[in-house]
Homo-oligomer: A and B are copies of this chain.
Amino acid sequence: MVTAPPEPRKLTRKGQATRDRILQTAVDLIAARGVAGTSTEDVRKAAGISGSQLYHYFDSKQALIRAVIARQADAVPIPGRPMMGALDSLEALRAWADAGIERQETIGFGGECTLGTLAGELSAGDEASREQIGQGFLRWQELLHTGLQAMQDRGELSPDADLDELALALLTALQGGTLLTQTLRNTKALRAAMNAALSYIASYSTPNPDRPPTT
């Protein structure tokens, strides 16, 4: 009988490094082959560890997948992570979108293990994974919402703008665009979707915010 997977706790520095290595190996294999195509034995071999070592950190494939989702949910939506704190202007959002498109071009259009690809593979048949991935999406939506809220507070977005909707439109453009980019092996869909989402946000921008220009 296997009980609930153990939480990672009081790991030594070396233990933490081993756990990180296993997780990174799992992420890389899933990126290339999908969750279904990746066995714990594949991960064990690729990470160069023993079966008992692997079991010490992750006592089942399910426990490993949970940890992969948690790791990818913590990753900020796209590259340019330092920028996330400043996604509070149309220019910053545009730069963020461009960085995401450029990144897809750099990595050769896909072969990534993202929250979106995990959702595509796991949402149908695995309720616990679906919920965990959903929580990750909601956290990203909140991050995007924070920047939009700052814009609205400064009077740059109309008070009528539904910021939850705008944040979701951005997140959905990113996820759908990445999915089609991976499938079609070019960034046209990501570019089109981000243009549409940014244009939608810009349609709520106020030409004359009632605060003085910052110049």
Report A's interface with B, CB cutoff 8 A. Answer: 30-37, 110-111, 113, 116-117, 119-126, 130, 133-134, 137-138, 164-166, 168-169, 171-177, 179-180, 182-185, 188-193, 195-197, 199-200, 203
CB A192 to nearest CB in B, in angstroms, measures 4
Distance in angstroms between the alpha carbons of A175 and B199 in the assembled complex: 19
Given contacts A34-B125, A172-B173, 10 further A-B contacts (CB under 8 A): A37-B125, A113-B124, A116-B176, A116-B179, A117-B120, A130-B182, A168-B180, A172-B180, A196-B200, A200-B200
Q: How far is the CA of A116 from the CA of B179 in the complex (A)?
A: 8
Complexed CA–CA distance, A156 and B188 (Å)? 24
Cβ–Cβ < 8 Å partners of A172 in chain B:
173, 176-177, 179-180, 189-190, 192-193, 196
A180 touches B188 (CB 8 A): no
Residue in chain B with minimal CB distance to A116: B179
A175 and B176 contacting across the interface, CB-CB below 8 Å: yes
26 residue pairs of the A-B complex, CB under 8 angstroms, read A32-B125, A33-B124, A34-B124, A36-B37, A111-B124, A119-B179, A123-B183, A133-B183, A137-B184, A164-B188, A165-B188, A168-B180, A168-B192, A169-B192, A172-B180, A172-B192, A172-B193, A172-B196, A173-B173, A173-B193, A173-B196, A175-B176, A175-B179, A196-B197, A200-B200, A203-B203
